[in-house]
Structure 1
Amino acid sequence: MTPTETAKILATFPALAQVPEEQLIWLAANSRPKHMEAGEMLSSPEFPLTGSHFIMTGRFSVYNYQGGIRRDLGALQTGEITGALPFSRGDKTTVYIAAANPAMVITLPIGLISIMIVEHYELTQALVHVMCNRIRYMTSIQLQNEKMMALGKLSAGITHEINNPVAANISDADSLIRFLGEVNRSVKLLPSTQLTAQAAAAFDLVDRIGDHNGHSAFLPFKERIQKEDELTKWLEENNVNNADDLADILVDLNIDHKTLDNFKTHYTNEQLASFLRWMAELLRARQTAQNLLSSSKRIEELIRSVKTFTHMDRGADRQTADIHHGISNALTLLAHKRKNLNIGLEENFYPGLPEIPILIGELNQVWTNMIDNALDAMENDGGGTLSLSTGLADGNIVVTIADTGPGIPQTIQPFIFDPFFTTKEIGKGTGIGLEVVRTIVAQHFGSVSVTSRPGKTLFTVSLPVQTPD
């Protein structure tokens, strides 16, 4: 291939698009071509840099080792540049770069870089820009890793302190519910007690309601007031004292006046008030125990989600996992925010999604950042819908996260993945969330894209099922 032909290919490199043709011909004429096989090393920390590498064809894996475990940092594709660059002070790379498949590169020897700086301004300027992007990328990864390690240490301490009392609460609440049920049954079995029809009816109703946890669904305000009024009227007509207070308890227990009509047939008016009060207090005690159990299990679920999010007690290597777990954990961590904003949730998860090797803690950041951004986009709408879906397409796992917010203006869409770019108000956004998303997805050899219009913004993450070695 002649220098002119090579220069035409170099002109297609995004970083070299503005470089004059004669400078690209000089670059081509002074560079050395090299064909590489899969697994062959282009550069490593063990050897000095030999020059600027221009990837003409193929793909390269970028990785390092942490604690003796390989940690993939991303990939370099056709049209990208690596190696020694102008004004770089390092004489060795800090990462390993190896061909993932058969590839071809051309290398400008390191000794000619000083000549390029003096004689070819636009080419030098383009390669300095490449170096700045590389520094930004590596700094982003380092900050991300440090943040995850700090979060992991903090989470480990907090979750350990919370986990023990929560486990005790769950055990105690479960026992209390069982004990209250046994109290009811044991009274009926006392040998000295002749169980009357009235008492039997009360015990049966307690058991029946208790089996359904004695807990009503959350009722709209108007519907609840209507039920309380109906019960209050019924209780007053049957000469039950403190009807308002008792009606409030009975609505909580999901008991209506029709149930009481059947219950009443076993009692005189004098007996009815006493049995209703005893039944209501016993059921309220069971409901309180059930609420304690539910809230403790909710805390336990949050602890489990935090542990999974930070991937505590695991190494830094990839683990084969189902990405649905990470998405579900992110939804759990952000459930309170979503409910406070009155935002609906639609999930359409592909049931046969294969497990893939991922950096679990890092990928969890992707789902959390993107879901959080989607919720923020709908914050001022007084509602909206968050939609998540997963699927398979062309050998990739595809995850989409959509919101019904106002959309991202076309003029700024090209910049949303840039570091420190944010549309949020001062003090609310840092501008690094989506940049971190892009960096982590690149570590997994994937891609992230966005389409947006008023009423629908859709982020799409693609992750290959088979990653290069």
Structure 2
Amino acid sequence: MTKAEIAAQLTGHVPELAEVPPAQLDWLAEQGVLETYADGEKCFSRGDEIVALTVVLQGGLSIFIPQAGGVKHLGVFEKGEITGLLPYSRMKAAVGDAYAAGDTVLLRLPREKFPEMIAGQPELTTALVHVMMDRIRDFTRQQQQDDKIMALGKLSAGLAHELNNPSAAVVRNAHELKRHFSMGPERLKAVIKICVSDEVVDHVNGLVLFKARHGDTHGLSMMERSEREDALADWLERNGVDHSAEAAATFTDFDFIEEDLESLRSLLRPTDIPPVIHWMNQVLITERLVNEIQEASRRINTLVSSIKSYTHMDQAPVKQRVDIHAGIQTTLTLLNHKIKHSQIQLKLEFEEGLPAVNIFVGPMNQVWTNLIDNAIDAMEGRTGNVLEIRTQRSRESIVVYIIDNGPGIPADIQDKIFEPFFTTKPVGKGTGMGLEVVRQIITQHAGKLEVKSVPGRTEFSVCFPIG
């Protein structure tokens, strides 16, 4: 391409430069260097130093970044788009790999020409600064969205594990309950044949209902429980009850002792004891299975409520006055699987009586997720792990401390951890935007984020005003 053709391309195909005087576009065409690439050819690599302004005159640049153990296609800079180094930009290295999308021609203005451009081409410089501002806004929005998706991905993995146990319990106990009821008709026949007074019926019912509501053997040691179960099994066997071991286990669960069963012998004929015992056993098993189904269902409901609260899916995106502890507790619920997997001791020291704070609930939950998840990751593969979360009031502010006893953050990188794209995690495990997003959200709340770290202790503190 001739300089005139390049200038014509800049004038007709680069919308951001439409208001730039032709003489300044001629300067760009004259000072720029053309580079050509065949379709699929690599144009630059992730981590390469960015040394020039780039305008796509033909073809395109297809950008790929590593993410979640694979590669994500970030997008394509097409004909007429501007990328690379821009005036006053702090970007130093490429965030991804670029390949030519079709036969590609790039116009590149070296960094060394920027002072001359800024001094002598004001409209061109202004247009490029606007490009930089738009790029920062768009890219930050995309990275924030990706960070949210990664956070929800981590939570969903833990949520799936947490839901697996109670849902499996519901299915298992429902199946057992169905099998249990299938034996009901035969047991009912035997009970109907018994002729006893209302007083006896009341005694048996009262005993079963009392044990069903108040029976508890959690205080027994394993040896004590075993001895009681053996004694009950012997009594049942002596009194002609079949499946005595199974029934003894159930009666032990509900804190029956031998004297409870002896009270039946004075009220029932010997032939009536087995059907009455089987009826009592059936009632108690039903009670236990229903209780377990209820508890598992309650756990599922708690988890669903937690994820609903975490995402704030039923609320408009406006500030609300809430208890700061609620969001932290919800996040801990959703990260519970990861905490248990890493064998972390959790220490919570929440100051009582803290006033409600005016926050965007969803974004602040993202803050807690990032900080707590980072602390968990820092302790991965270690023993004696402790995660401490403290809250306190400091004048007209509330401070939340998230502390881990991991290896600490090296002193030479502590000033870099809030920079965009900086991460110490392996490729695919972090975007380098987590703490940058956290900082932005806290700034949005007129708050302050600080870190103190030495080997064996890292403390992040989040401070924001109560008003």
Superposition TM-score, scaled by structure 1 size: 0.55
Output the amino acid matched with 1:194.
Answer: S
Structure 2 distance, partners of 1:408, 1:235, is: 60
Contact kept, 8 Å, 2:389 with 2:402, in 1: the verdict is yes
Structure 2 distance, partners of 1:458, 1:321, is: 24
Structure 1 residues 245 and 398, CA gap change in structure 2 (3 angstroms): same
Structure 1 distance, partners of 2:289, 2:417, is: 48
Question: Percent identity over the alignment?
Answer: 36
For 1:210, the equivalent position in structure 2 comes to 212
Residue 282 (1) aligns with residue 283 (2): yes
1:6-25 equivalence runs, <5 A: none
For 1:408, the equivalent position in structure 2 comes to 409
For 1:305, the equivalent position in structure 2 comes to 306
For 2:235, the equivalent position in structure 1 comes to 238
1:23-422 equivalence runs, <5 A: 86=87, 117-118=118-119, 136=136, 139-141=139-141, 143-144=143-144, 194-195=197-198, 197=200, 199-212=201-214, 223-224=221-222, 226-227=223-224, 229-240=226-237, 241-251=242-252, 253-255=253-255, 259-267=257-265, 274-381=275-382, 384-422=385-423
Structure 2 distance, partners of 1:352, 1:236, is: 53
Contact kept, 8 Å, 1:201 with 1:263, in 2: the verdict is no
For 1:75, the equivalent position in structure 2 comes to none
Structure 1 residues 341 and 323, CA gap change in structure 2 (3 angstroms): same
Output the amino acid matched with 2:414.
Answer: Q
Residues 186-212 of structure 1, C-alpha deviations (whole Å, 9 max, x = no match): xxxxxx961354x54442332223224
Contact kept, 8 Å, 2:409 with 2:453, in 1: the verdict is yes
Deviation at 1:264, TM superposition (A): 2.6
Structure 1 residues 384 and 426, CA gap change in structure 2 (3 angstroms): same
Output the amino acid matched with 1:362.
Answer: P
Contact kept, 8 Å, 2:375 with 2:387, in 1: the verdict is yes
**Structure 2 stretches of 5 or more lacking a match?**
1-85, 90-113, 182-194
Structure 2 distance, partners of 1:407, 1:272, is: 68
Q: Give 3-state SS (helix, strand or coil) of 2:463's partner.
A: strand
Contact kept, 8 Å, 1:148 with 1:361, in 2: the verdict is no
Contact kept, 8 Å, 2:144 with 2:433, in 1: the verdict is no
RMSD: 4.5
Contact kept, 8 Å, 1:148 with 1:310, in 2: the verdict is no
Residues 444-467 of structure 1, C-alpha deviations (whole Å, 9 max, x = no match): 12111222334432211001223x
Q: Give 3-state SS (helix, strand or coil) of 2:198's partner.
A: coil
Structure 1 residues 372 and 271, CA gap change in structure 2 (3 angstroms): farther
Structure 1 residues 337 and 271, CA gap change in structure 2 (3 angstroms): farther
Output the amino acid matched with 1:205.
Answer: L
For 2:186, the equivalent position in structure 1 comes to none
For 1:52, the equivalent position in structure 2 comes to none
Contact kept, 8 Å, 1:322 with 1:356, in 2: the verdict is yes
Output the amino acid matched with 2:458.
Answer: T
Larger Rg: 2
Structure 1 distance, partners of 2:271, 2:372, is: 59
Structure 2 distance, partners of 1:285, 1:139, is: 58
Contact kept, 8 Å, 2:344 with 2:387, in 1: the verdict is yes
Structure 1 residues 413 and 277, CA gap change in structure 2 (3 angstroms): farther
Deviation at 1:289, TM superposition (A): 1.3
For 1:18, the equivalent position in structure 2 comes to none
Structure 2 distance, partners of 1:247, 1:343, is: 39
Structure 2 distance, partners of 1:456, 1:339, is: 20
**Structure 1 stretches of 5 or more lacking a match?**
1-84, 89-112, 181-191
Structure 1 residues 450 and 321, CA gap change in structure 2 (3 angstroms): same
Contact kept, 8 Å, 1:403 with 1:458, in 2: the verdict is yes
Contact kept, 8 Å, 2:309 with 2:330, in 1: the verdict is yes
Residues 84-111 of structure 1, C-alpha deviations (whole Å, 9 max, x = no match): x9468xxxxxxxxxxxxxxxxxxxxxxx
Residues 199-243 of structure 1, C-alpha deviations (whole Å, 9 max, x = no match): 54442332223224x676599xxx54x355313421343252544
Deviation at 1:437, TM superposition (A): 1.4
Contact kept, 8 Å, 2:230 with 2:248, in 1: the verdict is no
Structure 1 residues 255 and 390, CA gap change in structure 2 (3 angstroms): same
Q: Give 3-state SS (helix, strand or coil) of 2:264's partner.
A: coil
Structure 1 distance, partners of 2:276, 2:380, is: 49
Task: Count how many residue pairs are aligned between Structure 1 and Structure 2.
Answer: 313
Contact kept, 8 Å, 1:421 with 1:432, in 2: the verdict is yes
